[in-house]
Amino acid sequence: MTTYALIRPDNSIDCIKGNVDLGAQNKPGWRWVPVEETPAPAFIAGLETVSSVRAFSTDKAVLQWTKVRKSLDEQKAAVKAEAQRRIVALTGKVALIDCMIKQSNANMRANELNDKRVSGGTLTAEEEAEATALRNLAIAIKAIRRASNAVELLDPIPLDYTADGYWP
């Protein structure tokens, strides 16, 4: 199906329609022209925006696409969101709030185990394994944050910033 643009006498677009009767337009100076549409270009949503403009000549209208980088602050926010996604996944949770609760509980438990050690107590083998697992979780989260900070320093942010090569 061909799409057509109805062009006003002042050369602005009145409307765009498909399946029009080209002979039915009888307003002086108005004309139907075919619309040449191209698909939107691929883009990275966190880093780029895409917009379209319809331009036209006497014989056709063309949909023109523009791809623009977002501001550096918006790009950094996308990197932070990727770090957050990775941290949530690391904790085995789906929702951010559940991830935060797990981290808070892990921190409390690590403090309890540390307090036992500091007060002269000895951790059982099970508690030692738990302390090691909690420490490893904290180390992994810190590594993700360090990687995020490193990517955020880049200008521009690489288009493939979500690639595993940037992350631990």
Share of the chain above pLDDT 70, in %: 100
Distance, CA of 13 to CA of 57 (rounded, Å): 11
Model pLDDT, residue 57: 76
Per-residue pLDDT reduced to its tens digit, 103-140: 999 999 999 999 999 999 999 999 999 999 999 999 99
By C-alpha distance, which of 44, 52, 62 is closest to 7?
A: 62
Q: Are 138 and 87 in contact (CB under 8 A)?
A: no
Q: State yes or no: cis peptide before 156, omega within 30 of 0.
A: yes
Q: In what order do the strands lie in the sheet with 48-56?
A: 13-18, 3-7, 31-36, 61-69, 48-56
Model pLDDT, residue 100: 96
Distances from the Cα of 105 to the Cαs of 111, 118, 132, in angstroms? 10, 20, 15
By C-alpha distance, which of 22, 21, 55 is closest to 38?
A: 55
Comparison of pLDDT for 23 and 74, the residue scoring more: 74
| Residue 24 pLDDT class (50, 70, 90 cuts) | confident
Per-residue pLDDT reduced to its tens digit, 26-78: 788 888 889 888 889 999 999 999 998 877 777 888 888 999 999 999 999 99
Model pLDDT, residue 1: 74
